Amino acid sequence: MMIIMEIEGKISTGYGKGAYFLGQDFYKSKFNEKLGFTPYPGTLNITVPKNYLDDIKNIKNSHANIIKPKEDFGGVKYIKAKLNDEIIGAIIFPDKTTHYENYLEFIAEENLRKKLKLKDGNKVNLKISV
């Protein structure tokens, strides 16, 4: 696994929509197939400084990792990443999102707020890999 970018950000509360979508069988099975794990139904929202945005866009646009849309569900791009050097997961970029550009949504197999005792404002580190 080659690291192509490292990002620091802060935990923030999302809108709760990720839990609904990640709870759908379609997404669960596709992420399991593509990433090797079934994601916890919810995303860990990380606010990143704006100086990372151009690099994140370039990485997002240069990867073909995508879960194609089905019926009423939108497509989702994803990039493998590691949180705080211990949690393997992925950053997801849903086609249909209401988040600002500087919000990243990280998925993993477990509830990360509970496992890592994370609260809003806590700093975290993401290593994006290929």
Q: pLDDT tens across 65-95, in order?
A: 888 877 777 788 899 999 999 999 999 988 7
Q: What's the CATH code of the domain at 119?
A: 2.40.30.30
Q: State yes or no: 18 annotated in a binding site.
A: yes
Q: State yes or no: 13 annotated in a binding site.
A: no
The number of distinct structural domains making up the chain is: 1
Task: Express as a percent the part of the chain with pLDDT over 70.
Answer: 93
| Cβ burial, residue 64 (10 Å; 0-12/13-18/19+) | exposed
The whole domain housing 30 covers 3-129
Q: What pTM does this model have?
A: 0.89
CA dihedral 59, 87, 120, 20 (to 10 degrees): 80
Q: State yes or no: 19 annotated in a binding site.
A: yes
